[in-house]
Amino acid sequence: MLFNSLDFAIFLPIVFGLFWTVGRYSAKVQNWILLIASYIFYGFWDWRFLSLLAFSSAFDYFVGAALYKQQDNRKRKMLFWSSVAVNLTLLGFFKYYNFFAESFVNAFSFFGQQVSLGSLQVLLPVGISFYTFQSMSYAFDIYRRELEPVKDIVPFMTFVAFFPHMVAGPIQRASFFLPQFLTQKKFSYELAAKGLKIMLFGFFMKVVVADRLALYVDAVYGNVDMHTGWSYMVATLFFAFQIYGDFAGYSLIAIGCALLFGFYMSPNFNRPYFSGSFRVFWSRWHISLSTWFKDYLYIPLGGNKGTKARTYANLFATFLISGLWHGANWTFVVWGALHGAYQIIERTVNNTVKIKLPKAVSIVLVFALTCIAWVFFRAATVQDAFQIVGTMFTNLGESVHIGDIGIFAFSVTGILMLLLIEISMEYYPNVTLLNHRQAPVRYATMVVMLAWIITLGVFDGSQFIYFQF
Amino acid sequence: MRKLFAKIAVILVLLAAFDVLAGVVLDWLRDHSPDGRYYKTKYSLEACDEDVVVIGSSRGEINYVSQIIEDSLGMRCWNASRGGQGTPYFRAIQEGVLSRYAPKIVILNIDDNDLETQPNYEHAGVLRPFYQSHPEIRPILDKTSPFEWLLLKSRLYAYNSSYYYLIRPYFIQGLDGKTSDKGWKPRLEKMNVEINGDLEPEPNKVPLHPESVALFDTLVHKFQERGCKVFLVVSPNFGRTVSASSAIEYLRKTSRERDIPLFIYSNDTAFITKPGYYVDPDHLNVEGAQIFTQHLIRQIKPLVHSNHLSQHVDTVR
């Protein structure tokens, strides 16, 4: 079920009503309602994969319990690695089998050897990368003795499957999020109202900005060979805002939706395109995933505790794996590698050159380099990406593809609106219309935003980009 | 919780009021449009009474010169085609026209896409502003989504994404053809490409889409049932021969079975090899459209009063 679907518009009020009426007397009933609702939500895509979700959750629940009881370090390690192995095997099989099989065959044929590995018609379960990571964090936290296991399996299963964030995050750390399922929720008007306002802005980012931009971006990136460098530049700029609107929009809807049920989630985006460095960028972009990789991969690899070379190697490896996590395609690996390289270069330059660029220049520079990396993220193949980047730098051409001028005009309007809102949030945080002291201003803002969504949103039931990851 | 619902109710009431007010303004803009897309659709649904009606997508809109048809046949002509549309839109326009009168002649410009791909009801969403005032087109638009009938209670939703084309004619006129062009959208540019070597080979056959075929059958059947003389035309593409696609074969079959003349220009070298006739590989420019329309009407003219139409199938040189 998609957030931007009528199914969800019917589903959410029903679950909300049940949760706060039938479930209001006990945390147990509340968890059962959310668990059933989450499985229905997920089952709308493909009910067959519910078993996978249930298996992954149940396995980590039992590993967590065993880990906690076990005192022998060797056995604890074995239990911990069994959780990692099972989750990564599920992820590896469903998401990466064909990718690795194909790459293996290609690598051999490059050296003149013919190897045959059958490709499987494997359907990618939606959100598998998110819920396996979420589930794994439980075993991690118990292994590191940062969390006690839950006694009841229902809160744990609900924590993994909680519908607002199950399919595309934000990935919540077990130690932060799971305890919230153990206490009974009391309805709070303030929380619910805040949640609805956050959801409203999320829908604006998704249907007014991201889905509108997608129409242009798809037209250009879907026809590599046919466009000028200028067109690729515009399409890439649009894509930068499309993916931001899409994913940040989804995250806001998820966070707002969780608040409706009294759950707090950590934020996932913090106006990343105002970053003056890549280090800052990654503390503002997909924060939940960056934190996950930092805590469960970068630091266990040694983090920045070793030599400079070792730190850089850890950093690069983390970004490479993060790239691969995004999708079974070399384009994502190159994207990750580019961001790894950006960070290493940035650190090296900062350590050697003592010149500080003006903030505005740094922001533009980081944004421009991020856009180059986005080309690899969006292109269908690495060859296409290189061709696009090459065309942008060597053959700008004389014209820009506009396509339908109405769509183009609304795309630009969407970006400008988003920028205006983000600039105000970044530099004038006290200017807030949605939370204005005076009720008429608040009401007017909400009505205008709703009207804007209805009138300029794209309602073609488009998927969120991050569902595929 | 009561407080939350009360405030949501207030916002919804305010939104509904805003929607109604905005709807009044938007409907006024639609109804008084001096030309452009909404003028054209409104005219097709509500006012056209010409003897000859042309229906098609962008190739219908750009390739058929209404004035030439009028002058040659001595009948009034309206080109009701619209770019980016397919069989769902054609059917909706048909319902709008037939609810008022039956034209004497209907020229249907059919592309391969119209029969080989799934009908795109979403594209016919450009008709949403007319949903409330035109019950006859509702069954077509209701197929866009199960709750379309409910969503279309909102005027803001009905005008979703339409503002640019709704407002433009008030500032710039004639971009979608002048009113005096009677639905034809002339394109002045000339394509700057030559054929390097041979024509593109016949594309691979794509199976027909049953839903599109059913829509097309209904389209033809309903016009014939009302006594309209139907002519099927396949427009030329530059540099590409298409003569045996599944769609064209189906058109041939329809032509034979229903006694309808069919004119296939997609393999006519007099058109497909002349870059000077085109604005892009799929659309003719003014010169190409004039020559094409003249040629087509020369073929059609003797058939207008004929009772044995099927003899004239595939009349291309």
Residues of B in contact with A457 (CB under 8 A): 160
A39-48, A75-84, B2-11, range with the lowest pLDDT: A39-48
Does residue B249 lie in a domain region?
Answer: yes
Report whether A247 contacts A269 (CB < 8 A).
yes
pLDDT for B315: 43
Tell me how close the Cα of A454 comes to any Cα of chain B, in angstroms.
Answer: 5
Residues of A in contact with B162 (CB under 8 A): 406
Overall average pLDDT of the A73-82 stretch: 91
CA distance B33 to B168: 9
Which segment, A27-36, A89-98, A455-464, B118-127, is predicted with the most confidence on average?
A27-36
Residues of A in contact with B29 (CB under 8 A): none
pLDDT for A234: 95
How many CB pairs below 8 A link A and B? 58
B317: pLDDT strictly greater than 90: no
Does residue B157 lie in a domain region?
Answer: no
Interface with B, mutate which of A405, A435, A455, A460 (most B CBs under 10 A): A455
pLDDT for A355: 79
Work out how many domains chain B is built from and give that number: 1
CB contact under 8 A, B19 and A406: no
* Nearest-5° Cα angle at A299, A293 to A304: 120
Write out pLDDT tens, residues A46-66.
888 888 889 989 999 999 999
The domain that contains B241 carries what CATH number?
Answer: 3.40.50.1110
Residues of B in contact with A455 (CB under 8 A): 22, 156-157, 159-161, 163
**HEC per residue, A274-305:** HCCCHHHHHHHCCHHHHHHHHHHHHCCCCCCC
Overall average pLDDT of the A86-111 stretch: 76
pLDDT for B297: 95
Return the residue of A nearest to B2 by Cα: A189
Quick one: CA dihedral A174, A179, A182, A184, positive or negative?
Answer: negative
Residue among B11, B164, B165 whose CB faces A443 most closely:
B11
CA distance A326 to A340: 15
Q: How confident is the model at residue A243 (pLDDT cuts 50, 70, 90)?
A: very high
Residue among B15, B147, B165 whose CB faces A451 most closely:
B15
Instruction: Report, in this order, helix, strand and coil percent for chain B, each rounded to 5.
Output: 50, 10, 40
B313: pLDDT strictly greater than 50: no
Backbone angles phi, psi at B280, to 5 degrees: -155, 175
Residues of B in contact with A406 (CB under 8 A): 161-165
Tell me how close the Cα of A457 comes to any Cα of chain B, in angstroms.
Answer: 7
Residues of B in contact with A461 (CB under 8 A): 145
CB contact under 8 A, A409 and B164: yes
Report whether B46 contacts B101 (CB < 8 A).
no
CA distance B85 to B63: 15
CA distance B165 to A406: 7
DSSP, collapsed to helix, strand or coil, labels residue B78 as: strand
User: What proportion of chain A, given as a percentage, has pLDDT over 70?
Assistant: 93
Overall average pLDDT of the B51-63 stretch: 96
Q: Give the list of residues 6+ apart from residue B41 with CB closer than 8 angstroms, or none.
A: B82, B93, B126, B127, B130
Q: How do beta strands B283-284 and B229-234 pair?
A: unpaired
B140: pLDDT strictly greater than 90: yes
Does residue B82 lie in a domain region?
Answer: yes
Q: Which amino acid is at B241?
A: T
Return the residue of A nearest to B150 by Cα: A6
Return the residue of A nearest to B12 by Cα: A447
Residue A326 annotated among the catalytic residues of the structure: yes
Q: What is the CA radius of gyration of chain A?
A: 23
Residues 139-198 on B with a CB inside 8 Å of A are: 145-147, 154, 156-157, 159-165
Catalytic residue among A165, A227, A286, A326: A326
Write out pLDDT tens, residues A298-347.
998 988 888 889 999 999 999 999 998 888 889 999 999 999 999 999 99
Q: How many Å from the N-terminal Cα to the C-terminal Cα in chain B?
A: 76
CA distance A318 to B178: 61
Return the residue of A nearest to B8 by Cα: A193
pLDDT for A467: 55
CB contact under 8 A, B15 and A196: no
CA distance A283 to A275: 9
B200: pLDDT strictly greater than 70: yes
Does residue B164 lie in a domain region?
Answer: no
Q: How confident is the model at residue A131 (pLDDT cuts 50, 70, 90)?
A: confident
Residues of A in contact with B156 (CB under 8 A): 451, 454-455
DSSP, collapsed to helix, strand or coil, labels residue B107 as: strand
* Nearest-5° Cα angle at B77, B76 to B82: 160
CA distance B230 to B90: 14
Mean pLDDT of chain B: 91
Write out pLDDT tens, residues A172-214.
888 889 999 999 999 999 999 999 999 999 999 999 999 999 9
Respond yes or no on whether ipTM tops 0.85. no
B308: pLDDT strictly greater than 70: no
Residues 402-441 on A with a CB inside 8 Å of B are: 405-407, 409-410
Return the residue of A nearest to B21 by Cα: A451
Q: Which of A49, A50, A142, A128 is nearest to A86 (CA)?
A: A128
Does residue B300 lie in a domain region?
Answer: yes
pLDDT for A122: 58
Q: Give the list of residues 6+ apart from residue A370 with CB closer than 8 angstroms, or none.
A: A240, A273, A281
Report whether A403 contacts A219 (CB < 8 A).
yes
pLDDT for B312: 43
Write out pLDDT tens, residues A412-449.
999 999 999 999 999 988 888 888 889 899 999 999 99
A24: pLDDT strictly greater than 90: no
CB contact under 8 A, A451 and B18: yes
- Give me the residue spans of the domains in chain A: 6-187, 191-456
Q: How do beta strands B283-284 and B278-280 pair?
A: antiparallel
Say which DSSP state A455 is in: H
Q: Which domain holds residue B297?
A: 50-118+177-312
CB contact under 8 A, B156 and A454: yes
CA distance A268 to A202: 12
Tell me how close the Cα of A439 comes to any Cα of chain B, in angstroms.
Answer: 11
